[in-house]
Amino acid sequence: NAGVTQTPKFQVLKTGQSMTLQCAQDMNHEYMSWYRQDPGMGLRLIHYSVGAGITDQGEIPNGYNVSRSTTEDFPLRLLSAAPSQTSVYFCASRVTSGYNEQFFGPGTRLTVL
Amino acid sequence: GENVEQHPSTLSVQEGDSAVIKCTYSDSASNYFPWYKQELGKGPQLIIDIRSNVGEKKDQRIAVTLNKTAKHFSLHITETQPEDSAVYFCATQYQKVTFGIGTKLQVIP
């Protein structure tokens, strides 16, 4: 199993540009989520999905969109990038919501100029 | 919503000494408390977890304790080694996961 994969690893955008961060898992996990990691702030939940066709907002959803058309994929879209979205983004998955291990991808480092 | 406080934010210990990281949480309904280790340039990885019906859990050199009455839980690493150097996150988890801000542990050889 490849586990949780994310592409790209690094990305530089200009303010106002749009892009999609890709996330895929091959473990047949129902639950997937997106976090961003900023110094001194830990990991903050952006959006999550409890299964294909179902998404919900996390702690900081503004400026980000998600969709979940398949169990495997959970892309994160930035419609109009802002410098405040400069961060490291992690995708994660687990079997279901509840008490089970969450597996993280390797992260995408995004810089918005 | 849930709030998780973690301290210290940085911790330096000599190789072979013990390290302790402490967390408190606000939601008394929280029942599951995982700990993650993040090495440089990688995603976090689960190292140990504890459920609310257990007061302590050990796995080799690491242990976690939970005090539900006081709403705090701690990670203990004994006989630290250089490869323990990383950032450690505590969290509470049910449908959503709420993380502490992280502790950067440095083990000095």
Instruction: Determine the residue of chain A that is closest to B88 in CA distance.
Output: A42
Q: Give percent of chain A above pLDDT 70.
A: 100
Cβ pair B43:A105 closer than 8 A: yes
pLDDT digits (tens, 9 = 90+) for B70-105: 999 999 999 999 999 999 999 998 878 999 999 999
Between B2 and B14, name the one with better pLDDT.
B14
Q: How many CB atoms lie within 10 A of CB A2?
A: 9
Interface check A106 vs B, CB under 8 A? yes
Mean pLDDT rounded to a whole number for chain B: 95
Neighboring chain A residues of B9 at a CB cutoff of 8 Å = 40
Strand partners of residue A47: A34, A57
Task: Please say whether the beta carbons of B72 and B82 come within 8 A.
Answer: no
Cβ pair A101:B34 closer than 8 A: yes
Band of residue A20 on the pLDDT scale cut at 50, 70, 90? very high
Residue A99 clears pLDDT 90, i.e. is over it: no
The confidence score (pLDDT) of residue A105 equals 97
The first and second tokens of residue B86, run together, are: 């990383």
- Beta strand B103-108 with B10-14: parallel, antiparallel or unpaired? parallel
Which of A41, A59, A97 has the CB atom closest to B95's CB atom? A97
